[in-house]
Amino acid sequence: MIYLVYKDRSRFVAFPALLALAVSVALVLFSIVTLGLGVLLAVPLAIALAIAVLVYTIIAAIQAITASGTNCRLSTLGAHTLQL
């Protein structure tokens, strides 16, 4: 904004204002690029984590149903213990 107002009036003010504008634009572009890279990495990892949680939940459910040689216990705050 300062560059647009003072570019014709004063070179002393216009050049630093132009530099500040260039740095601001560079920082915005850098932020957009790093955000894009972050999304490209985070979304596949989040999907893989969700699939892993689903798979391990299914495995745990199957082992709980078949009891797989262990005693599965359900307890409510340690007050009551049920053996399945």
51 pLDDT above the threshold of 90: yes
Query: DSSP string covering the chain, please?
Result: -HHHHHTTT-HHHHHHHHHHHHHHHHHHHHHHHHHHHHHHHHHHHHHHHHHHHHHHHHHHHHHHHH-TTS--EEEETTTEEEE-
Whether pTM exceeds 0.75? no
Q: What is the pLDDT of residue 48?
A: 94
- Terminal-residue alpha carbon distance, the chain: 73
Average pLDDT, the chain: 78
Residue 77's pLDDT band (cuts 50, 70, 90)? very low
**Higher pLDDT among residues 84 and 43, named by residue:** 43
Mean pLDDT for the stretch of residues 8-34: 86
